[in-house]
Amino acid sequence: MPLYPTCSEKEGFEDLSVRFLHTADLQIGKGFGQLPSEISVVLRNARLETLKKIAVLARERRVDAVLVAGDCFDDIAVGDETLRRFKVALEPFGGTWVLLPGNHDPATAESPWSRLKRLTLPDNVIVADEPIPIALGDKAMILPAPLKRRRDAADLTEWFDTAETDDHLIRIGLAHGSVREFLPEASEAANPVAMDRDIRARLDYLALGDWHGKLQVTDRTWYAGTPEPDRFRANEPGYILNVAIEAPGAKPTIEPVAVAEYRWMEQTRDIMPGGTDDVSQGLDIPAAELSRLIVRLELQGTIDLSTHAALDEDLGDLRARVQYLEVDDAGLVVEPTEDDLDMIDTTGFVRTGMERLREQLNGPDAETARRALALLYGLHHQTGG
């Protein structure tokens, strides 16, 4: 049974509605050079799997199209194998795909788009590399603003204002750039988009890319954000937008749909002596979903050696459960207590070395001495000495 009514099911009334998925910033081929190579491969493959998931959702929801508002690819130098895998990822949805070049993959002379066309794209995949209206059946007209270079000082959506379309067609803008007056932090001066473009151009919807989080600008203008997060930023990435417009002039209905395979989470933890507990509990996520996490923990506080050893145990356990764990402990100060040091019941040169480290705790090399004592305590703890 179709998810949405057909024209016949509406008792003879002409169906003027349009339904589509809005996504952006797929950045297929992203390198993730800041992470270990084995994790980078996992995350790079996840972006293609998420694209397949979007295609399956489009098929299941029987939408008219999937609109990708720029940055399908992370770089113009993406390899041919990645281009072919990209094509395969689109296959589950046989409806219309409209792909817009963005600032990471501008429509230059030798771009992923020219090479993709040489690989022969199916008829349902449209590369919107020219500012020319694209008909979506007999229901809507898509007005694209493709980037021809990474940075452009002009507002490439300006031509939407004077683009003529039939009155019975829904007008949809498709662009990649910065609504600088609105974004919650400083954005680039290049690739501007006027905040009132939807009003000026009489758009029923303006699908934007470039900001990597789900964000509503106006009732008719949205950033979809990246469907697969790529950084530690709490700006609601990991969604696509399911958009329904019932008729020209009607207010669009927007349904965010979570699609991300991995979540990126950053936390700052204050550690107290004897208070490590289970560090995974503070992530506030079911244990079964920990393997989908990319985690960065910033630790701060002053602790003793026994707490440091317990913390190392907990972090080791968490590292085995999540996809990737990065720990910044620069703000964590280890202050050995007399009980800590007396626990290391050693003799000979090890005991002598420990005593020398104790003498340095109040000197210029105190931080190095603390770390060395923590290591010594940890080794003693592990061996049960």
Instruction: State the pLDDT at residue 288.
Output: 87
Domain residue ranges in the chain: 8-258, 263-383
Instruction: State the pLDDT at residue 364.
Output: 79
Beta carbons within 8 Å of 22's beta carbon, 6+ residues apart: 67, 69, 205, 207, 222, 224, 240, 241, 243
SS3 state at 216: strand
User: With contact defined as beta carbons under 8 Å apart, do 97 and 66 qualify?
Assistant: yes
Instruction: State the pLDDT at residue 5.
Output: 40
Report in angstroms the alpha-carbon separations of 233 from 71, 125, 238, 261, 304. 19, 32, 11, 16, 32
Instruction: State the pLDDT at residue 253.
Output: 98
Tens digits of residue pLDDT in 355-384: 677 667 667 777 777 777 767 666 655 555
Residues of the chain with pLDDT under 70: 1-14, 184-189, 275-278, 338, 340-355, 358-359, 361-362, 374, 376-385
CB atoms within 10 A of CB 96: 21
Q: How far apart are CA 289 and CA 124, in angstroms?
A: 36
Instruction: State the pLDDT at residue 346.
Output: 55
Phi-psi region of 33 (alpha: psi -120 to 50; beta: other; left: phi over 0): alpha
Q: How many CA atoms lie within 13 A of 151 on its CB side?
A: 4
User: With contact defined as beta carbons under 8 Å apart, do 173 and 203 qualify?
Assistant: yes
End-to-end CA distance of the chain: 69
Beta carbons within 8 Å of 138's beta carbon, 6+ residues apart: 169
Q: How far apart are CA 56 and CA 67, in angstroms?
A: 14
Burial of 241: CB neighbours in 10 Å, binned 0-12, 13-18, 19+: buried
Instruction: State the pLDDT at residue 221.
Output: 98
User: With contact defined as beta carbons under 8 Å apart, do 171 and 204 qualify?
Assistant: yes
Q: Of 3.60.21.10, 3.30.460.10, 3.10.200.10, 3.30.70.1400, which CATH number belongs to 8-258?
A: 3.60.21.10
Tens digits of residue pLDDT in 201-236: 999 999 999 999 999 999 999 999 999 999 998 889
| Long-range pairs of 184-188 with CB within 8 A, sequence gap ≥ 24 | 184/215, 184/235, 187/211, 188/151
Report in angstroms the alpha-carbon separations of 302 from 242, 279, 335, 359, 370. 48, 17, 7, 19, 11
